[in-house]
Structure 1
Amino acid sequence: MTESLLHRQTVAAVEQSQPKERIRRLVWKICIATLILMAIGSATRVMNAGLACPDWPLCYGKFVPTKQMNLQVFLEWFHRLDAALVGISTLALSFLSWWNRRSLPGWLPWAATFALGLIVFQGILGGLTVTELLRFDIVTAHLGTALLFFTTLLVIGTALTPYQGTGTAGKLPWLGLLAAVLVYLQSLLGALVGSRWALHQCFAGQELCGVMYSHIGGVVPPTLATLAVVFLSWRTPALHPALRQLANMAGGLLGLQVLVGVATFRLRLQVEPLSVAHQAVGAALLASLVAFTVLALRDRTNASSGSVHT
């Protein structure tokens, strides 16, 4: 009889874990699609393809504008296609979270709904970028919302990932959070520089140089905060290997981002792949810091509660 009870409990635990595992996999797939979406959006901007499709949401009044298709039209069209897929997937994420809410953490349906709200708002901004002819504040808000959506998915996915902390994170969660916020703000400054073409205008006619130099000077705070995360992670004994790996990844991505940024500046945005890589590496750096912060917070929470659990 005891064996039968244990068997039923095991079956029930497996059944409860299945929706959580499916949702976790879906979240990470949407994360990857969103990272690709932001890279394509960056390529669309640097290739002057933001208005390659003059209407919205269709392109030349068609779902697939085969007659007008060229590189610029393809970039803008594919950007919209990927955005639509991300939107549909996020709608499915919200639906599944509410449908299976009894076997999921209580915060998950609300977090999924928040992500859905962000993607709806992002779609509105995407339409406005076309109808308002790439107005710089809308373009900047478009990227800022995309990064916030990306961050929300990262928080959800990392929080659902099985993790057994060591309870040694200490103040690392707050330091990681500070670094992530500073990187996000620096990304917004970069979006403003790009949407106003500040680098070109400064070199060509000494205009908007203040905007450009604010982004260059703004690299210092997130750099120092990220280096502090790496240094303190090295100095923290018995830190979980996952946290050490994420800290090392953040340090490596920071170095790569600085190199790509310097190369982009020295070449005056003449090499488009460098500009795309600059934004993609920045998003990856933000992702590593967000994942680090969530895991470190889980580690600290486990330590304060006096128990380590998955």
Structure 2
Amino acid sequence: MTQSLSSPKSFSPAAPQVKVWVRRLVWKMAIATFLLMAIGSATRVMNAGLACPDWPLCYGQLVPTQQMNLQVFLEWFHRLDAALIGVSAIALVGLSVWFRNVLPSWLPWASGLALFLIVFQGILGGLTVTELLRFDIVTAHLGTALVFFVTLLSIGACLSDFNGNSTANKLPWIGLTAAILIYIQSLLGGLVASQWALHQCFFRGDMCIVMNSHIIGVIPATLATLITIVVAWRTAALHPTLRILANLALMLVISQVLIGVATFRLHLQVAPLTVTHQAVGAALLGTLTLFTVFALRDRHSSNQFPKSKLT
């Protein structure tokens, strides 16, 4: 009897092959999301947030060729990248459900969460235009993008081949604390940017509390990151992946502090520097997320975490 085409078993490649497909898709989505946040930052810095006055189209067109300039291109390309990521999120859910018999049982739920986040992100993106860049919506837009980004990284890390040696001990919780503080600091930075607090504080004496909160937030976020790095260095027989991520976090946190100081002293007058500041912050958050997930897998390596139908 011919097997029904509606069954996942009607086309069932080897489990490792399916896992590779899904993992590659997730990593590509994570890279695209990182670029999306960088483009979004450039859009804000270049005052292009309202370059397309309508949504979801731009000047009522899919491609506004007649109105196209740098500002319109940034906003239009930002939307295009977001749409492609949204389609990829739908594909991720489809693959994780269709091949659920050969993939980890948690993957459909995780991919569903990712799809929800990107849909919610799209709604916030539309509201940023229709509500004329209202600062709380712009900040929520950034915050949701970062949550979506770390969700993808967590999925990718859990799907990656990794044989831990159970030496991480308390590193997952230390790394998680650092990641949370970096996330909060990123939100404060988004709040400063969306309200143009630095400019207002320097030139009008307004919004200095918002700006100073971001400056003060550097201290706990940086200290938590450095503590994570030092503990990782002092952990004997730590997995090489965790050591690489700890070293990368060190380079990123030093770069972020230096770029932040330069951005502050130049009063946000150098647009590429401002965009780099946000991009490095997102990269640091992503690095700490990967460190935390791999450290958690290392700690529970004897229990084969996360549990999967592949094992």
Q: TM-score range by the shorter chain?
A: over 0.9
Provide the C-alpha distance between the structure 1 equivalents of 2:53 and 2:13, rounded to a whole number of angstroms. 51
Provide the C-alpha distance between the structure 2 equivalents of 1:248 and 1:178, rounded to a whole number of angstroms. 18
Provide the C-alpha distance between the structure 1 equivalents of 2:104 and 2:80, rounded to a whole number of angstroms. 32
For normalisation by structure 2, the TM-score amounts to 0.93
Change (3 A) 1:300 1:14: farther
**SS at 2:101's partner residue?**
helix
Aligned position for 2:57:
58
Alpha-carbon contact 1:158-1:291 (below 8 Å) kept: yes
Aligned position for 1:68:
67
Aligned position for 1:129:
128
Aligned position for 1:38:
37
Shift in Å, 1:16: 1.2
Change (3 A) 1:14 1:232: farther
Aligned position for 2:5:
none
Alpha-carbon contact 1:176-1:292 (below 8 Å) kept: yes
Shift in Å, 1:189: 0.3
Shift in Å, 1:303: 4.2
**SS at 2:47's partner residue?**
coil
Aligned position for 1:77:
76
Change (3 A) 1:163 1:14: farther
Aligned position for 2:238:
239
Shift in Å, 1:20: 1.0
| Deviation per residue, 1:5-62 (Å, 9 max, x gap) | xxxxxxxx97111111100000000000000000000000000000000000000000
Provide the C-alpha distance between the structure 1 equivalents of 2:177 and 2:43, rounded to a whole number of angstroms. 31
RMSD over equivalenced CA pairs, Å: 1.6
Q: Is there any run of 5+ residues in structure 2 with no aligned partner, and where?
A: 1-11
**SS at 1:269's partner residue?**
coil
**SS at 2:169's partner residue?**
coil
Aligned position for 1:183:
182
| Deviation per residue, 1:228-262 (Å, 9 max, x gap) | 11101110000001000000100110000001100
Letter paired with 1:178: T
Aligned position for 2:4:
none
Matched, 1:291 2:290: yes
Shift in Å, 1:290: 0.3
For normalisation by structure 1, the TM-score amounts to 0.94
Aligned position for 1:223:
222
Find runs of 4+ consecutive structure 1 residues off by over 6 angstroms.
none
Letter paired with 1:60: Y
Provide the C-alpha distance between the structure 1 equivalents of 2:299 and 2:247, rounded to a whole number of angstroms. 20
Provide the C-alpha distance between the structure 2 equivalents of 1:89 and 1:99, rounded to a whole number of angstroms. 15
**SS at 1:120's partner residue?**
helix
Aligned position for 1:202:
201
Alpha-carbon contact 1:115-1:149 (below 8 Å) kept: yes
Provide the C-alpha distance between the structure 2 equivalents of 1:91 and 1:201, rounded to a whole number of angstroms. 42
Q: Percent identity?
A: 69
| Deviation per residue, 1:133-180 (Å, 9 max, x gap) | 000000000000000000000000001010011110000000000000
Task: Select the structure that is richer in helix.
Answer: 1
Alpha-carbon contact 1:168-1:303 (below 8 Å) kept: no
Matched, 1:103 2:102: yes
Provide the C-alpha distance between the structure 2 equivalents of 1:168 and 1:303, rounded to a whole number of angstroms. 11
Provide the C-alpha distance between the structure 2 equivalents of 1:220 and 1:130, rounded to a whole number of angstroms. 34
Shift in Å, 1:205: 0.6
Provide the C-alpha distance between the structure 1 equivalents of 2:13 and 2:83, rounded to a whole number of angstroms. 33
